Amino acid sequence: MSDNARRDFLKQVGITTAATVGLSSITAKADEYKSGEVQGVLVDIGVCVGCRNCERACQVAHNLPAEDPEEYHNRDIYKEFRRPNTHSLTVVNEFENPKNKLIPYDVKYQCMHCNHPACVSACIVGALTKNKNGAVTWDTNKCIGCRYCMVACPFQIPTFEYDKAIQPKIMKCDFCFERTKEGLLPACVANCPVEALTYGNRDELLVLAKKRIARYPDKYIPKVFGEDEVGGTSWLYIAPVDFETLMFPKLGDKPAPGVTEAIQHGIFSYFIPPLALFGWLGGVMWLSKRKKELTESETKKEEDK
Amino acid sequence: MSELVIPKPVKHKFFTPGMIIVTLLALNGLYFLAKRFLFGMGAVTNLNNFYPWGLWIGVDVAAGVALSAGGFVTAAMGHIFHLPNMKPVIRPALLTAMLGYTFVGIGVMVDIGRWYYIWHPMIYWNGNSPLFEVGICVMTYLTVLYIEFFPIVTERFRGKVNLPSILSIFNKPIEFLLKLFDNTLGKAMFVFIIAGVVLSTLHQSSLGTLMVIAGYKMHPLWLTPIMPLLFFISAICVGIPMVIFECLIASRSFGLKPEMDVLKNIAAYVPLLLGIYLGFKIGDMAIRKSFVYLFEFNKYSIAWLIEIVFGVIIPLVMLNFKKVLNSPLWLFIAATLVVAGVLINRINTFIVAYHPPYAKTPYFPSFGEISVTVGFICLMVILYRIIVMIFPVMSLPIKNEEKY
């Protein structure tokens, strides 16, 4: 049994025992993704040249239809703002640099691999998993295609194969989970010719990002996107302009699933509220029935007189 | 008068001009349904990667669950709180709930990409997911509803099992089984009735939790942590108006005199419930200061105003007047407004308020999506009609029956 399967199993056992014994293990929530084994990628928007090698490398690594390498150098594609889709799990967009038209800003987008992913919390069958190395992966054997992950994601990342009648898939960046397991770099990182992407321990990447900002204060705005957004993400960005002009959503530092999980665990805390409601209704039912019978027999008696 | 009223199968012609239109609309829906299963979601719907949920989740599922609330509301009022005058409406409400939830289940199956995996939530659990909770509760509650309806089936056939020719050897065993079920179920029924109310409380509210996780993608006029509470209260509010709505339609369609004595008594509970709902809605708005968005003139403020003014405030005022309570037409209008109000609230919550980033055009349902939704409603009408003509659901006064 893998770590995650075991954790899921323990969770289920926890829930069932909670129902019967009134004890629970699901509330113990250590902040396990803040440090240690969590890997990440630092994207330096000030370095990216928009060659789109990462797009192609990603398609090849995930067995998705890829075009000829030359096609990716046609910069006409930047006329339209694009989002990751079922054929390209990562896409690059270009924005005009008002200070210097010759040096535009190129931005790569993909799943941010949140520390507290909304999709993982939302998924009805637990088909999405937050792995120890930070990757958020999807399990085709569990998914029912309800698309709640797409509703939940604050970055609007998961996509769905609407054109398939059988086994449509949720498509999103999986942080090259199969490659990194074998010690390889994620395909996009391995194929970036200008080292705009740096793969490594998330904590160390944060230090590196801040060092870079400190060394070139004129080049970067003093912010690491992904450090605190929705509780932190595995992917981190530094940029020469503020992130909203680069079409990043403006997000708070609270994890996206926080409120929902509080409500859910409030309603279900150890199954006590539902059982209490059941008991209360049972009591009311019994009492009101007795009262009704009493009044009925009284009126009957009066009628008999 | 209500003593004279007993549930009986309705005798009436099945096809009227209205029913022919209903049947045609149902067939039109089935055509698009076949297309969806053969060629995928994209062939029929306007859904995309920005708008993963549309009309089918908003109306077929979310509004379907809310408008089926009559089942648990009347069960709680009649069987648990033993309020007077509830008896004649419990069975029609139970039938609506049973049909409503059946179609919620079918609606979910149509909307999920992998419909053949609909049973997965039973073995793959995610306790953090409100959708998981909704799924499990709806599955269980649907079973409970079928169990609650079973006595109506036994009542119809007990002592009357008479299969033709060769099959007649089964007459006695079936009769014995019916008797057995009737006797044992009758004693245990209170467990299922209470379970039905508990399950409804849970999933009606959890449906409201669903969109909380979308966070900033939801318009602040609707997004509030008390959404589960608002969904639950509005479900209770719509329970009785939905019963009134369909009792009046059914009695008109079958040419019967509506049971105004019963209906006006239960309608009197509605203003109080609507008042509580409005109180929470406005109070929440005042605390979160989201009323500032009402002064922006856009589709959100208009949608919110339509929902609250027509769906809550107007019927709340109307139902305080004796004239409204005593007139079938006015009562029908008031009940319809509440039903429409809850329907609009679910549409607003799941479709209008949801504004994802990066979407180039807002979502509007396709002709195919609308056809399927309308088709399902028509199928429900057809099944309702068939069932009340076979089983003792509708309470018919003796004098009405003499007409035939």
Sequential DSSP letters for B287-305? HHTGGGGGGS-SHHHHHHH
Position A30 scores a pLDDT of 41
Q: Do A264 and B206 touch (CB under 8 A)?
A: yes
Q: State the average pLDDT over residues B269-289.
A: 95
Percent of chain B with pLDDT over 70: 97
Position B262 scores a pLDDT of 85
> Are residues A296 and A222 located together in one domain of the fold?
no
Q: State the average pLDDT over residues B242-258.
A: 88
Domain assignment of residue B355, yes or no: yes
Could you say which of A150, A249, A263 has the minimum Cβ distance to residue B228?
A263
Q: In the A/B pair of chains, how many CB contacts fall below 8 A? A: 191
Segment among A138-147, A231-240, B79-88, B361-370 with least mean pLDDT: B79-88
Residue-wise pLDDT tens digits, B94-123: 999 999 999 999 999 999 999 999 999 999
Domain assignment of residue A265, yes or no: no
Position B27 confidence tier, pLDDT thresholds 50, 70, 90: very high
For residue A258, pLDDT beyond 90: no
Domain assignment of residue B36, yes or no: yes
3-state secondary structure chain A: CCHHHHHHHHHHHHHHHHHHHCCCCCCCCCCCCCCCCCEEEEEECCCCCCCCHHHHHHHHHCCCCCCCHHHHHCHHHHHCCCCCCCCCCCEEEEECCCCCCCCCEEEEECCCCECCCHHHHHCCCCCEEECCCCCEEECCCCCCCCCHHHHHCCCCCCEECCCCCCCCCEECCCCCHHHHHCCCCCHHHHCCCCCCEEEEEHHHHHHHHHHHHHHCCCCCCCCCECCCHHHCECEEEECCCCCCCCCCCCCCCCCCCHHHHHHHHHHHHHHHHHHHHHHHHHHHHHHHHHHHHHHHHHHHHHHHC
Q: How many domains does chain A have?
A: 2
Extract the tokens encoding B178: 């019916």
Contacts of B108 in chain A (CB under 8 A): 146
Closest Cα partner for B353 from B212, B203, B170, B180? B212
For residue B180, pLDDT beyond 90: no
Position A290 scores a pLDDT of 85
Domain assignment of residue B403, yes or no: no
Could you say which of B37, B81, B210 has the minimum Cβ distance to residue A165?
B37
> Are residues A121 and A85 located together in one domain of the fold?
yes
For residue B404, pLDDT beyond 50: no
Position B259 scores a pLDDT of 82
For residue B254, pLDDT beyond 90: no
Stated length of chain B: 404
> Are residues A133 and A174 located together in one domain of the fold?
yes
Position A9 scores a pLDDT of 47
Type of residue at B332: F
Position A291 scores a pLDDT of 84
> Are residues A104 and A38 located together in one domain of the fold?
yes
Q: Do A274 and B198 touch (CB under 8 A)?
A: yes
For residue B355, pLDDT beyond 50: yes
**In Å, how far are A266, B161, B281, B284 from B287, measured between CA atoms?**
21, 62, 10, 5
Position A161 scores a pLDDT of 97
Find which of B32, B77, B81, B114 to mutate to test the A interface (most A CBs within 10 Å of its CB): B114
> B149-184 in b/e burial notation, b at 16+ Cβ within 10 A?
bbbbbbebeeeebeeeeeeeeeeeeebeebeebeee
Q: State the average pLDDT over residues A256-276.
A: 80
The CATH number of the domain where A56 resides is what? 3.30.70.20
Domain assignment of residue A123, yes or no: yes
B33/A contact by beta carbon, under 8 A: no
Query: Whole domain around residue A58: which residue ranges?
Result: 31-256
> Are residues A251 and A292 located together in one domain of the fold?
no
Q: State the average pLDDT over residues B329-345.
A: 96
Residue-wise pLDDT tens digits, A6-60: 455 444 444 443 443 333 333 334 444 445 689 999 999 999 999 999 999 999 9
Could you say which of B42, B198, B358 has the minimum Cβ distance to residue A278?
B198
Position A304 scores a pLDDT of 65
Position B16 confidence tier, pLDDT thresholds 50, 70, 90: confident
The CATH number of the domain where B381 resides is what? 1.20.1630.10
Q: How many domains does chain B have?
A: 1
Position A303 scores a pLDDT of 65
By the 8 A CB rule, do B334 and B318 touch?
A: yes
> Are residues A203 and A59 located together in one domain of the fold?
yes
ipTM: 0.91
Position A175 scores a pLDDT of 96
Mean pLDDT of chain A: 86
| Rg of chain B taking only CA atoms, in angstroms | 22
Extract the tokens encoding B318: 């109307």
> Are residues A300 and A220 located together in one domain of the fold?
no
For residue A1, pLDDT beyond 60: no
Q: Which string of DSSP letters, residue by residue, matches B155-211?
A: HHHTTT----GGGGGGHHHHHHHHHHHHHHHHHHHHHHHHHHHHHHHHHHHHHHHGG
> Are residues A94 and A201 located together in one domain of the fold?
yes
Domain assignment of residue B402, yes or no: no
Between A44 and A290, the more confident residue is: A44
Position B143 confidence tier, pLDDT thresholds 50, 70, 90: very high
Position A37 scores a pLDDT of 85
In angstroms, the CA A68 to CA A59 distance is 12
Domain assignment of residue A18, yes or no: no
Q: Do B131 and A122 touch (CB under 8 A)?
A: yes
Position B185 scores a pLDDT of 82
Extract the tokens encoding A305: 């007189």
> Are residues A174 and A300 located together in one domain of the fold?
no
Domain stop point among A256, A280, A295: A256
Segment among B2-16, B114-128, B205-219, B321-335 with least mean pLDDT: B2-16
B45/A contact by beta carbon, under 8 A: yes
Helix (H, G, I), strand (E, B) or coil at B76: helix
For B:142-161, CB contacts with A below 8 A are: none
**In Å, how far are A1, A131, A140, A207 from A37, measured between CA atoms?**
20, 10, 25, 16
B136/A contact by beta carbon, under 8 A: no
CA angle B353, B356, B359 (to 5 degrees): 120
Could you say which of B113, B202, B214 has the minimum Cβ distance to residue A145?
B113
A298 vs chain B: nearest CA distance in angstroms? 17
Domain assignment of residue A264, yes or no: no
> Are residues A276 and A227 located together in one domain of the fold?
no
Query: Whole domain around residue B46: which residue ranges?
Result: 2-397
Domain assignment of residue A11, yes or no: no
Domain assignment of residue B63, yes or no: yes
A142/B contact by beta carbon, under 8 A: yes
Domain assignment of residue A214, yes or no: yes
By the 8 A CB rule, do A201 and A194 touch?
A: no
Q: Do A268 and B212 touch (CB under 8 A)?
A: no
For residue B9, pLDDT beyond 90: no
Extract the tokens encoding B114: 């992998």
For residue B165, pLDDT beyond 80: no
In angstroms, the CA A225 to CA A210 distance is 11
B213/A contact by beta carbon, under 8 A: yes
For residue A221, pLDDT beyond 90: yes
For B:185-204, CB contacts with A below 8 A are: 190, 193-195, 197-198, 201-202
For residue B55, pLDDT beyond 80: yes
A267/B contact by beta carbon, under 8 A: yes
Q: Do B45 and A162 touch (CB under 8 A)?
A: yes
Contacts of B39 in chain A (CB under 8 A): 163, 165
Residue-wise pLDDT tens digits, A79-105: 999 999 999 999 999 999 988 888 999
> Are residues A204 and A292 located together in one domain of the fold?
no
CA A123 and chain centroid, separation = 10
> Are residues A182 and A58 located together in one domain of the fold?
yes
Position B400 scores a pLDDT of 45
Residue-wise pLDDT tens digits, A144-193: 999 999 999 999 999 999 999 999 999 999 999 999 999 999 999 999 99
